[in-house]
Homo-oligomer: A and B are copies of this chain.
Amino acid sequence: MKKNSSVTINDVASEAGVSKSTVSLVIRNSSLVKPATRKVVVEAMQRIGYVYNRDAANFRSRSSNIVGLIIHDLTNPFFAEMYVGLEKRLANSGYIALLSNTSEDAEVQLRNFNIMKEHRIAGFIVCPAQGTDQQFIEALKQQNTPVVSVIRRLPDPDKSFDYISADVRQGTYLATRHLLEQGYRHVGYIGGLDTPIRKDRLKGYKQALSEFDLRVDEKYIYTCQPTRANGEKAIRELMLSPNVELDACVCYNDLVALGTLWGLHDLGVAVGKEFGVVGFDNVAAAAHTTPPLTSVASNSDDIGRAAAERLLHRIENNTEQPVHIVKPVELVVRNSSGRQPD
C-alpha cells in the first residue's frame, strides 16, 4: 500500500460519506462540524491512510507555514545553538524551517534567498553574511513578508527590520571591568572587523577603562576576522611587539579567545595567573579549555527563541514599527581571568 499518496480529501469524503468541504473543515479543526461527524471523518482518514497536502492548501489559501532561515555560519556553535532554540519555538507554533547556511558569502545569500522566495515563505529570519549589500536589502524590502534580523543587524540605513541582539556593549563592559577588578591594568581588545556591533562592544570596553581612569590605547585594539587562527596570530603579534605590554585581553568571541589561549600557552604565558583572558558567547567548549575560559554568555538558545517569537508575532501583525530587542548577557567567570596575588 505504498502508493504515491494520491489519497485526497475527496477519497476521505466518500469513505466517510460526507462532502469534501466537511472533510476540509475537520482537517482545520473547525468548530462548525458536529463531534460525531468529526469522528467519522477522522476514522475514515486513518482507514485509508490520508496525508494532508499542505502545499495544495497553502497554495489555495495563499498562506504558508514555512519560515526561511538565513544564517551565515552554522558551524559556529553559537549559531547552531541559536538555530536549535529557534526551530523549537517555530515548531511549537506549527512552523517549519527552510535553512540556508551562507558561509559568509553574500552571493550565496542572495541566490538562496531568491530560491526561498519562490516558496511563498511566511517570513524570514536573517543573520546576514559579511558584505551583505544594498541589493539584498532591497530584495528583502521588495517582498512583503516580515523579516527579523538576529545578532548582526542588516545594513539598512532606514533600520526597517526588527533586530534581536545580545547586549554586547554591556557584555564587553562587564568583561573589561572584571579584568580590571582582578588587578590587570593593560587590557587589550582582540578580534572583529570594523562593524557596527564591534563599535558597540568597544564602547563597553572603553567605558570600563574610563571608570578606572585608564586611557584607551589604539595599539591595544586588534582588528581581524574573528577566527581561532587569527586570535592566535593577534596575541602573538601583540605580545612580541616591543612597545606593548599587555597583561589581559577581552576577545571578540570565544573562537578568538581559544586562539589566544593557545598562542599564550605557546608563548609560555600562564593564563589565569599572570595574564587574563575573557571570551564572548560562552560556547560549550569554553568550560573545557586549559584553563577554563571566562566568557560572556549571551544565551544563544534564548536569542533564537526571541527571534522566532518576534517573527511569529510579525506574521500575525505586520503593522508595528520595527523594534530592536536587546537580550541581557552575563559574565561567566572561570579560571582564565584569574590573577596571582602580587
Interface size on A, residues (CB 8 A): 58
A77-B75, A103-B84, A143-B2 known; A55+B58 contact, CB < 8 A:
yes
Q: Digit string of A97-112 for contact with B (CB within 8 Å is 1, else 0)?
A: 1111101000010011
In the complex, which of the residues B56, B94, B289 contacts A59, with contact meaning CB atoms closer than 8 Å?
A: B56
Chain B residue with minimal CB distance to A51?
A: B117
Q: How far is the CA of A63 from the CA of B25 in the complex (A)?
A: 26
Q: Mark A44-67, 1 if CB is under 8 A from B, else 0.
A: 000001011111101100101010
Q: How often does this chain occur in the complex, in copies?
A: 2
Residue ID in chain B nearest A68 by CB atoms: B96
- Measured CA separation A51–B66 after assembly (Å): 17
Does A319 belong to the interface (CB within 8 Å)? no
Residue in B108, B116, B262 whose CB lies within 8 Å of A288: B262
Docked Cα-Cα span, A144 to B5, in Å, equals: 8
Assess the B144–A3 pair: CB atoms within 8 A. yes
- A55-B120, A143-B5 are contacts. A112–B91 as well, Cβ < 8 Å? yes
A81 within 8 A of B: yes
A10 at the interface (CB under 8 A from B): no
Q: A74-B80, A118-B52, A258-B285 are in contact. Are A144 and B99 (CB under 8 A)?
A: no
Asked whether A32 is an interface residue with its Cβ less than 8 Å from the other chain, the reply is no
Contacts of A77 in B (CB 8 A): 75, 77, 80
Cα distance A66–B87 when bound, in Å? 17
Chain B contacts of A120 at CB under 8 A?
Answer: 53, 55
